Amino acid sequence: MAEARFHFIFWLFVGVVLTKFCLCQNDTKCEQDDCMAKVQCPEPQKFGSGPPKTCAKPSDPKNLPKSKLESWFTKEMFNDLFPKANLGWGPHECSPYNYESFIIAARYFPEFASEAPNNGYTADQNYKRDMAAFFAHAVQETGENDASLYTGQPKEQADDCFYRGGFFNWFEGGPTSSFLPSSSPGYTPCDGKVCTAQGIYCTSSAELDYFYPCNKEKSGEYSKGCYFGRGAIQLSYNYNYGQFSNWLNKVGIKVDLLKNPNLLMTKIDPPLAIMGSLWFYMTPQPPKPAMHDIIMGQWYPGDKNKAAGYSGPIFGPTSLIINNECNGEDAVEPGGPGESRRIKAFKWFCKYFGVPTGEDRHLTCKGMPATLDMIGGNVSWQPDWSMTWKEEPCRCAPASYGGMIAYYQPERYPDRFVSLNEANAKYCVETIYDNPSMYSMTPETSLCLKAKH
C-alpha cells in the first residue's frame, strides 16, 4: 500500500499521441471517432535496466475463452493508459504488467468489466465504470503518483499525465523498496524472493497457523516467507496470499504462494501479478463485499446507509475495502494519497471512458452513517456447538463472528458466492477432525470427535 512520489532532476518532454481515443469534456459522453488527442508528458524516471530482451511469454494453461471486455478494451487502450508501467519502462510482455497478462487474468473473472445488472446504468456504462474503479485503486496503490507534474502545466494536461502513471510499482515501498536487500531493491520481479524482517507481514494465531502458515525459511539474514504488498493492488499478509493460493488451486492452477509468495510477481503461466489484484477486487471477504459488487450495486448497505442514499452502484464504499479510508476528496491538485487519490483517479478514468461517475457525494464513504463493519455480515462456518457434546458426527453451522471459512449470506452476496456455502461447510467439518485443538475441542469435551464422519 506504499505511496511512491518522485522528484525528477530534469524533464524530457515527449509526445504521446492518442489515436481514436478522445478525452471527453464531460462525464456522460465520449464520441470515439477519428479524433486525435495529443498529450505531452514528461519522460518518466526509469528504475533498473528494463525488461529482458527475451523471455517466456504470458500464457494460460487452462486456455479459458475470451472475456467480453476484450471486445472493447484493446491493447492500444491499455498501452495508452499505462505508458509508465513497470518502473517507467512501459507495458512489455517480459514484465509483470502488460495487456496480455491483463486479459488472461480477466478471463478468470468473467464478470469483470462484463457484467450489466439492472442498476440504472447501461451495459456499456457498467463495463467501463467497473474497469475505471479497478484502475483507480491501482493508481493509488502502485502508481507513479508524481505531484511535480502539476508544476508548470495546465491542470487538464497534468491530470492526463498523472493518472497515466498506474501499474508503476511492483513491490510495496517501491520502486526502491526498503523491505528488500540493498543489492536487489526491487528492480526485477525476482528481487522479491527474500526480504528484511519488516517485510514478513505474517499474522499468527491457532487458526491462521493451520489455514495460512507462514514460511519460516531463511536465506542468510533474510526471510523467504515475505508477505508484504505485491502486484497492482498490493496483495498483503499471509492470509491474503493463502486465500488467493487456495482459489488458484480450486480453478486448477497448482501453486503454493504461502511457501513461495514471490511467485505472485514471477509466475506467468498464468501471470499472477494482475490476477492477484483482480481476485482481491472481485472477491468478498465478509463482512466486506467485493469492490466489484459495490460498483455494480450488488451489495448490502444496511438500513442506515440505504436511508441516507448510500446504496446501489456507487464508488465511495470501495475505498473502505483496502485501507478503510474515508477522508473525502482534497480540494487541491493532485491532493494527497488515500481516498482522495482513489476518487480523483476514478473521475479521470470515467472521463477517459466517457461514462458517468455518479453523484459527487457517492464518490466518498465520508458521509456514510455506517461503515461496512457496522452493518453485520461477519458470519463464518464454525463447529455447531449445539451438538458437539453428542456422540454423532460433528457438524458446522453459520456463526455470527469472523473465522477462516466464510459463510455467504444469501441476502448480502451474489449467487456465485452463496453457491460456495455447501462446500465450505464440508471443509469446516474436515478441519474439525484434522485439527480440533484450534477450536479448543477434545474427545473428552466434544464427543462428536469420537463419531465417524
Residue 235 is classified by DSSP as B
d(CA 338, CA 315): 14
Q: Is 21 left (phi over 0), alpha (psi -120 to 50) or beta?
A: beta
First vs last C-alpha separation in the chain: 44
- From the CB of residue 318, how many other CB atoms can be counted at a distance below 10 Å? 26
Paired strand residues for 41 = 14
Active-site residue among 141, 144, 325, 339?
141
Q: Which helix (H) or strand (E) holds 132?
A: helix 123-142
Nearest to 101 by CA among 196, 189, 4: 189
Q: Are 139 and 201 in contact (CB under 8 A)?
A: no
Q: Are 139 and 131 in contact (CB under 8 A)?
A: no
d(CA 108, CA 44): 32
d(CA 151, CA 336): 15
Is 93 a residue of the active site?
no
| SS3 assignment, position 396 | strand
Before 213, cis peptide (omega within 30)?
no
Q: Are 24 and 37 in contact (CB under 8 A)?
A: no
List residues with catalytic annotation.
141
